[in-house]
Amino acid sequence: MKIKIALIMFICTAGMAQAQNAAIDTVAKKAITDLAFITGQWEGSGWMIGVDGVRHEFTQSENIRFKLDTTAILIEGKGFAGGRMVHNAMAVIRFNATENRFDFYSFLSSGKEGVFKAFIENGELVWYLNEGMKYTVRIDDKGNWYEKGEMNMGESWFQFFETNLHRK
């Protein structure tokens, strides 16, 4: 008899757990679709100021698409300079309902990885490496991708990175 009661309780609670997962997926789906403006295949050029203080130019491509039934975004980025790859990265963006933000999971070919806070602010995707460094992506009036990286210098932000991309 105890086994039958336990089995009935398991079946009932399993159904409730499934219903909760469906609700969470609906919230995640809505949040992730708010980032549709960054999806697509992009290419163009950019620059960054290296640790040597010199501005280095490169070409860049980004392949960004929805995954997992539109509950995540996969980003694959590659940068080239002087005929060689200088940037090879992958990222996954998921909605974090508990914190009401996006989690930006970043993976570099060097083996470095991290999870960073990301938000939509004024129609732009902003993700923070830490309190002192952020990247902002916006799509301009012509539909082009503009991204900048900035460091907090106390009273102002110093731009050290920029890409200008167009859809392929």
Question: Taking the CA atoms of the chain, what radius of gyration do you get in angstroms?
Answer: 20
The Cα 21–Cα 27 span in angstroms is 10
Q: Where are the beta strands (DSSP E) in 50-123?
A: 55-67, 72-81, 84-96, 101-108, 113-121
Q: Could you report the per-residue pLDDT of 79-111, keeping only the tens digit for each?
A: 999 999 999 999 999 999 999 999 999 999 999
pLDDT given at position 6: 47
Ranges in the chain, pLDDT < 50:
5-9, 16, 19-20
Architecture of domain 2-167: Beta Barrel (2.40)
Listed by start position, the domains of the chain span 2-167
The Cα 4–Cα 127 span in angstroms is 51
- The rounded percent of the chain whose pLDDT value lies above 90 is 83
The Cα 168–Cα 43 span in angstroms is 7
